């Protein structure tokens, strides 16, 4: 029986880089790069692309992916994957891989799956990595503070924790892969967006605000997300070499 699905949300209308899932590198769209990596994850029973775009839908079909059309009205990726998960009642664990991470490390996805399956107290699992000094002030690099048991305490686009005393704190960057228990995904997506989520534009804050537990693990992987045209050009240059 299939119990674990990777669902890749891919929307056309990105504010910073519209249509980015369809941008091509080495004659292959970004969404295909992501999907191919996802299909290499041995712990996942299926991989589905979730999109609000007929163009992305047709593109995904052309390279053989399972793909579902979703509403255009979702506020975040988790809302989109929840709509798809409703159609698959046998799926107990849902893994959200962002559609703009073409170099996603499959071992990291395996770690997210392991975390959510093995921790009975966790609603959600995700990953962190040690952040480079030059990225501490970058609002596109989301930071996280975790507790002694590895549960997230807060996520922010600001530098956290604040260094009143220099040289003591550890700083972690959030890697945008999520593992959800089925009930936890539906619970989170039915909750109202709190002020902190709307202020930071970070959907995981909705879960924390409502007392849900997010288990983290620290890995060495440094993610390569494509948020801007500069990111895309850097990835393209790297692959064409």
127: domain CATH number is 3.90.550.10
Q: For residue 68, what are the β-bridge partners?
A: 50
Q: What is the dihedral of CA 74, 79, 84, 90, to 10 degrees?
A: -160
User: Structural domain of residue 115, as residue ranges?
Assistant: 4-240
**Residue 65 pLDDT:** 97
Q: Is the pLDDT of residue 216 over 80?
A: yes
**Residue 1 pLDDT:** 55
Quick one: how far is CA 147 from the chain centroid?
A: 21
Among candidates 227, 229, 231, 189, which has minimal Cα distance to 210? 189
**What is the percent of the chain with per-residue pLDDT over 70, rounded to a whole number?**
100
Compute CA distances 5 → 1, 45, 111, whole Å. 12, 6, 14
Q: Which residue has the higher pLDDT, 64 or 17?
A: 64
> Tokens for 108?
């990291």
Please count the other Cβ atoms lying within 10 Å of the Cβ belonging to residue 37.
Answer: 20
At 133-185, the pLDDT tens digits run 888 999 988 999 999 999 999 999 999 999 999 999 999 999 989 999 999 99
Give the chain's domain count.
1
Mean pLDDT of the chain: 93
**Residue 94 pLDDT:** 98
pTM: 0.93
């Amino acid at each position: 029986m299939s119990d674990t699905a990777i669902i890749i949300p891919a929307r056309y209308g990105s504010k910073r880089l519209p249509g980015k899932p369809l941008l091509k590198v080495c004659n292959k769209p970004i969404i295909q790069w992501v999907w191919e990596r996802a299909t290499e994850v041995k712990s996942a029973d299926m991989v589905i692309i979730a999109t609000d775009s007929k163009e992305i839908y047709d593109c995904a079909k052309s390279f053989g992916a399972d793909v579902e059309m979703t509403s255009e009205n979702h506020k975040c990726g988790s809302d989109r994957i929840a709509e798809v998960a409703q159609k698959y009642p046998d799926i107990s664990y849902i893994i959200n891989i962002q559609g703009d991470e073409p170099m996603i490390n499959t071992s990291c996805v395996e770690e997210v799956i392991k975390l959510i399956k093995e921790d009975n107290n966790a609603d959600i699992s995700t990953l962190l990595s040690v952040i480079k000094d030059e990225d501490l002030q970058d609002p596109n690099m989301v930071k996280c503070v975790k507790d002694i048991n590895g549960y997230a305490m807060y996520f922010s686009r600001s530098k956290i924790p604040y260094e009143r005393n220099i040289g003591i704190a550890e700083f972690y960057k959030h890697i945008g892969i999520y593992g959800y228990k089925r009930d936890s995904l539906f619970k989170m997506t039915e909750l109202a967006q709190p002020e902190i989520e709307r202020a930071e534009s970070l959907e995981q804050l909705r879960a924390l605000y409502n007392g849900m537990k997010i288990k983290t693990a620290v890995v060495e992987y440094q993610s390569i997300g494509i948020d801007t045209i500069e990111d895309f050009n850097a990835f393209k240059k790297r692959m064409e070499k």
